[in-house]
Amino acid sequence: MKLRTWIVAITAIGSSILPASCGTQNNADFLIPEGTQAGDLQLEECTYEIDKEDYPADCGTLIVPENRANPESRLIALPVTRVRTTGNQPAEPIFVLPGGPGISNHGTPQIRWFLDKHDVVIVGYRGVDGSVRLDCSEVSAHIKNLPGDMLGEASIENMSDAYGRCAERLQSEGVDLGGYTVVEVIDDLEDGRLALGYGKINLFSISYGTRLAMIYAWRYPESIHRSAMVAVNPPGHMFYYAPEVIDEQLAYYANLCAQDPKCSAQTDDLAETMRTVSQNMPDRWWGFPIDRGMLRAASFESLSDTQAAAKVFDTWLAAAKGDYSGMAMLTLAGPMMFADATVWGENIAKAAGADYEMTRELRVDMNLATSILGSPRSEMAAAAARWLVNTLPEEYQQVQPSDVETLLLSGSIDLWTPAQFAEDELRPSLSKGQHVVVAENGHAEMLWRQPEASKRLLTSFFDTGEADDSLFTYQLWEYNVGLGFPAIAKIILAVGALIVTLILVVVRKLV
């Protein structure tokens, strides 16, 4: 989700990445000409922008069935971009599968690392890119008008109702929700490979994209040459984050805090301080509401980014001293952060379809009784009850053995995709697997914190099958808060007070 970007950006330390010019069309631009058949691909020359530099490319539209299980299915259109290699002897093309679900497949800047030897191919994600977009304004409206605690029973019930109304509306508009599954996305990729005339391909995947890459390798092993997965998400973890695993990650952060002079000066034990605050949180600060569920969700979403983590910890440590201004700030900003953080229909369709268990009592399993943050994403997953969930075939709900050459790349402090999941659950199934864990890095952070090392690792793997991690250096986590949320809250309050004072002065003079 984009919430982490909001948390970083709201404090002026984030940066946005512009997607390529040929990958940002409005959904209405994807018309399906009469006589078009599934599998048709029309391409024309274009340019693709990466970090403000244009690269020669081919842009076009791939026609696919909306639901391959339905012989009478209508056709939908997906954008396809092939960024051409700059080399004279291209190796296997690299298909890019970034994170989500609910985020476009266009806008991954690391693809420039591969262009000297490989074409890079981007097939739009159905449900976000192309002729059908599963927007759920009903869910966004719910988040902007929460009925109390974001993760409370009433809120989850309202969110579930919003999903149900969204599903009904989309169906009334002619959308076949049965076609918006992970397997259909993988079949789109395979159709793209065939239409482009490629033999074996490489896969570069991140987060949610790694689940696609896994199943692609299980479903079409003969199509895959090598697969590099960053921030690995094995089966069972799209929705479910056990509270005890989250607590383990917070304990890891607590150890890093103890090694940092500025952080350790604020607390003897970061994790226990957060636990105490979580269990003794007020409802208001100076009249401003404090939403406990929103705070837990916002904290979880940001803690996989080590820069944003320091600001979140600053908010909790200030609260431990009686200053809840940062928590009030996050409560007020939270709806803006969450409401449009993802394409909600696409998010629930793919995530719930991958892992959702209809019979599981998530609000019981993921309760806060003995944990610090609980499991906010898992608690929100209970809202999927009224969406038309199309679950994956059983064989894709568990890890399968694979002979595809595979590189796993993890950060050691990643609350979303912990390295231990990749090592313990996926790595043993890979006969040709390698796993590199970069210390003190969060969710895919090494790609931008140590770009040259990441480039060397990935390009060496794609070129030779051996991942060269020699350029990675140890980067100790630092408690660099900068302008934190408590400070921002006080600045906003002071500015507001000043404006009110000036208005009163002007009114008195006029009177």
pLDDT for position 463: 96
pLDDT for position 389: 74
Residue 368 to residue 300: CA distance in whole angstroms? 13
Answer for the pair 213, 231: CB distance below 8 angstroms, yes or no: no
Q: What is the DSSP string of 302-368?
A: HTTSHHHHHHHHHHHHHHHTT--HHHHHHHHHHHHHHHTSS-HHHHHHHHHHHH--TT--HHHHT-S
Amino acid at site 281: M
Token match 């209809």: residue? Answer: 358
| Sign of the torsion formed by the C-alpha atoms of 434, 438, 439 and 441 | negative
Residue 450 to residue 437: CA distance in whole angstroms? 13
Q: Distance of alpha carbon 414 from its chain centroid, rounded?
A: 12
Amino acid at site 459: T
Give me the half-sphere count of Cα atoms (radius 13 Å) on the Cβ side of residue 328: 20
Architecture per CATH, 45-135+174-238+394-464:
3-Layer(aba) Sandwich (3.40)
pLDDT digits (tens, 9 = 90+) for 53-106: 999 999 999 999 999 999 999 999 999 999 999 998 899 999 999 988 999 998
With H, G, I as helix, E, B as strand and everything else as coil, classify residue 48: strand
For residue 456, report the phi and psi dihedrals to the nearest 5 degrees: -60, -45
From residue 6, alpha-carbon distances to 15, 122, 235, 341, 444 in Å are 10, 25, 28, 9, 17
- Report, as ranges of residue numbers, the positions in the chain whose pLDDT lies below 50: 1-26, 359
Give the residue from 103, 112, 97, 106 showing the smallest Cα distance to 50. Answer: 112
Residue 276 to residue 36: CA distance in whole angstroms? 62
Helix-then-strand count for the chain, H and E: 18, 13
pLDDT for position 16: 27
Strands 433-438, 405-411: parallel, antiparallel or unpaired by DSSP?
Answer: parallel
Helical segments of 359-411, H only: 362-365, 376-381
Residue 223 to residue 193: CA distance in whole angstroms? 9
User: Domains of the chain: which residue ranges?
Assistant: 45-135+174-238+394-464
Give the residue from 209, 156, 231, 151 showing the smallest Cα distance to 413. Answer: 231
pLDDT for position 377: 86
Give me the half-sphere count of Cα atoms (radius 13 Å) on the Cβ side of residue 48: 28
pLDDT for position 15: 29
